[in-house]
DNA sequence: CAGTCGATTCACT
DNA sequence: GTGAATCGACTGA
């Protein structure tokens, strides 16, 4: 007999902590994305921490810009960025105003609303691939820049909410270098995932783009 | 204002 | 394993 996951929303206080504390604590939590077409629910299995101005790997490293402004705001909000000309990635803002911490949501297991996710993720060969990777996760959840700045601590039925779920015991948390992060930002073991979970994305070191001409 | 490249994914070989 | 796709943000002149 397995206890049902706790569906209590996480409070803003949960996110108002150092990002390195919040990130592993998000594993096993439930992300609920309510789209116009209906809700999709995900159990978070892989995340990465980005620690604002201290962190060369973070978008906030060189200060506040139009793109990353939300990360400098209050915790518990959604930061969405657009990259490689075609993908979106989703973060949850952590730490106090001005600290610019963020947790990149890298992978999860779709636990409800899989039909909608499958429609948006036609290249997925099975359900484990629906949200295996940050841009895949955002696609499965129908997340784009229009959600940037959304409060994830709002009432049920809000565009994005995070529920308590079933936190992972420390025993089952693994950590390692962040995926695809260039330069000095790649040295920190700030990627966290659930041991042996089949929805976790493969590790890939940063690969500089080859020169065209 | 032009050049560079990205917290990636997909199709192919 | 390799290369293409695709565009906006950021950089430095």
Residues counted in chain A: 213
pLDDT digits (tens, 9 = 90+) for A146-203: 999 999 999 999 999 999 999 999 999 999 999 999 888 889 999 999 999 999 999 9
H or E stretch including A168? none
Angle at alpha carbon of residue A151, lines to A148 and A152, rounded to 5°: 105
pLDDT above 70 (res A126): yes
Burial of A183 (0-12, 13-18, 19+ CB in 10 A): exposed
Nucleotide showing the shortest C1' distance to residue A60 CA: B7
Q: Is A179 near strand C, with its CB below 7 A from some atom of it?
A: no
The predicted structure's pLDDT at residue A213? 53
* Closest nucleotide to A69 by C1' from CA: C9
pLDDT average, residue stretch A45-74:
96
Residues in contact with A99: Cβ distance below 8 Å, sequence separation at least 6, in sequence order: A19, A52, A72
What domains can be seen in chain A, in order of their start residue? Answer: 6-172 (3.10.300.10)
Asked if strand C comes closer than 7 Å to A7 Cβ, the answer is no
Q: How far apart are CA A22 and CA A19, in angstroms?
A: 5
pTM: 0.97
Q: Give the rounded percent of residues in chain A with a pLDDT score beyond 90.
A: 92
Name the nucleotide nearest A68; use CA and C1'. Answer: C9
Does the C-beta of A84 come within 7 A of strand C?
A: yes
d(C-alpha A187, C-alpha A179), whole Å: 10
**Integer distance in angstroms from CA A181 to C1' B10?**
20
């Amino acid at each position: 007999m397995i206890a049902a996951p706790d569906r209590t929303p996480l409070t803003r206080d949960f996110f108002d902590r150092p990002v390195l504390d919040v990130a592993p604590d998000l594993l096993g939590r439930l992300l609920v994305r309510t789209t116009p077409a209906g809700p999709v629910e995900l159990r978070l299995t892989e995340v990465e921490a980005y620690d604002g101005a201290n962190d060369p790997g973070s978008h906030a490293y060189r200060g506040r810009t139009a793109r990353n402004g939300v990360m400098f705001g209050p915790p518990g909000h959604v930061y969405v960025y657009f990259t490689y000309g075609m993908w979106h990635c989703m973060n949850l803002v952590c730490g106090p105003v001005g600290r610019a911490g963020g947790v990149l949501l890298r992978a999860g297991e779709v636990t409800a609303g899989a039909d909608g996710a499958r429609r948006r993720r036609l290249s997925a060969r099975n359900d484990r691939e629906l949200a295996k990777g940050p841009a895949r996760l955002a696609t499965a959840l129908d997340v784009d820049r229009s959600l940037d700045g959304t409060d994830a601590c709002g009432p049920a039925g809000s565009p994005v909410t995070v529920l308590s779920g079933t936190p992972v015991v420390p025993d089952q948390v693994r950590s390692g270098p962040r995926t695809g992060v260039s330069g000095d930002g790649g040295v920190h073991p700030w990627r966290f995932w659930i041991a042996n979970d089949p929805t976790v994305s493969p590790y890939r070191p940063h690969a500089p783009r080859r020169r065209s001409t």
